[in-house]
């Protein structure tokens, strides 16, 4: 399917979803109270955890929102990160319901969260959007790639080109969530390929959660090897570093 047809289809799908929500008032995904046409009511939205001052590169808390010392000392392969929320209760509950319980309607909520967070920045928006690839085995088990569902909606909202072919995960790795933080970079090494010519392009990688950033770093390395000039991460939520 061409990008034009995919975008047109997504617009029709969104219109149908919006019409259905207006015709059938929603109950909030968190408190089960009436939420009108929204998946999460306004009261619950106000209480969602955010990172008020974050490093522009890794999105971890940083005084004054400056680039943190770790990113200055060891610059990652990606150039910037936008995160809508901190990965904490109840955002984790929403992401897990989408990812593991098949609540696909939450892809729209995730996309809206990313677009709203990105709107706070005045920098030019990358013209290319790509979803974090999911291993074929895991996608068969789950039935969908949650990052792809979000990326499709984000690309439509931001009038960006969605790269939906030529980028893939070549092998199934051990689930990152099951590994200690220090082992995740090794686990994901060499797990992606990109056959798309990205020479000089600015690319935004969409994913649901950024934990250590190891997977996003490896994917950014792959995209830059394919010619990308700049790679940004756009995620729904950022996991805070564990306290030592």
Tell me: pLDDT of 16 over 90: no
Range of weakest confidence among 42-46, 81-85, 121-125, 131-135: 121-125
Q: Do the Cβ atoms of 160 and 125 come closer than 8 Å?
A: yes
Cα 188–chain centre separation = 18
Tell me: pLDDT of 5 over 80: no
Cβ of 132: how many Cβ atoms within 10 Å?
A: 24
What domains appear along the chain, each with residue ranges and CATH number?
A: 1-47 (no CATH), 51-238 (3.40.50)
Q: Do the Cβ atoms of 202 and 232 come closer than 8 Å?
A: yes
Q: Do the Cβ atoms of 208 and 235 come closer than 8 Å?
A: yes
Higher pLDDT, 137 or 187: 137
User: Mean pLDDT of all residues in the chain?
Assistant: 87
Q: Could you tell me the pLDDT band of residue 26, with boundaries at 50, 70 and 90? A: confident
Backbone φ/ψ region at 200: left (φ over 0), alpha (ψ -120 to 50), beta: left
| Selection from 234, 212, 230, 208 nearest residue 77 by Cα | 230
Each residue of 144-165: pLDDT tens digit?
999 999 999 999 999 999 999 9
Handedness of CA 21, 11, 9, 216 (dihedral sign): negative
The model's pTM is: 0.85
Backbone φ/ψ region at 118: left (φ over 0), alpha (ψ -120 to 50), beta: alpha
Each residue of 68-87: pLDDT tens digit?
999 999 999 999 999 999 99
Cα 72–chain centre separation = 24
Cα-flanking dihedrals φ and ψ of residue 61, to 5°? -55, 135
Query: Which residues are bridge partners to 233 per DSSP?
Result: 81, 205
Asked if the peptide bond before residue 115 counts as cis, ω within 30 degrees of 0, the response is no
Pinpoint the alpha helices (H) of the chain: 3-23, 42-46, 69-73, 91-101, 106-118, 136-142, 146-157, 184-188, 214-225
């Amino acid at each position: 399917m061409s990008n034009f047809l995919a975008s047109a289809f997504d617009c029709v799908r969104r219109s149908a979803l919006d019409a259905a929500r207006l015709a059938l008032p929603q109950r909030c995904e968190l408190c089960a109270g009436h939420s009108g046409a929204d998946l999460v009511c306004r009261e619950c939205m106000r209480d969602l955890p955010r990172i008020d001052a974050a490093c522009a590169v890794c999105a971890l808390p940083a005084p004054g929102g400056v680039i943190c010392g770790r990113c200055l000392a060891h610059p990652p392969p990606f150039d910037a990160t936008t995160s809508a929320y901190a990965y904490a209760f109840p955002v984790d509950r929403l992401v897990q319901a989408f990812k593991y319980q098949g609540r696909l309607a939450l892809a729209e909520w995730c996309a809206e969260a990313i677009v709203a967070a990105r709107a706070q920045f005045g920098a030019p928006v990358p013209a290319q959007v790509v979803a974090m690839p999911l291993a074929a085995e895991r996608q068969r088990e789950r039935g969908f790639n949650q990052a792809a569902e979000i990326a499709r909606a984000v690309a439509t909202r931001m009038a960006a080109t969605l790269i939906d072919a030529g980028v893939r995960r070549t092998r199934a790795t051990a689930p990152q969530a099951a590994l200690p933080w220090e082992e995740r970079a090794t686990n994901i090494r060499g797990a992606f390929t990109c056959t798309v010519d990205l020479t000089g392009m600015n690319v935004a990688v969409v994913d649901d959660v950024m934990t250590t950033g190891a997977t996003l770093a490896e994917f950014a390395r792959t995209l830059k090897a394919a010619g990308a000039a700049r790679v940004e991460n756009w995620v729904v939520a950022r996991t805070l570093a564990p306290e030592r």
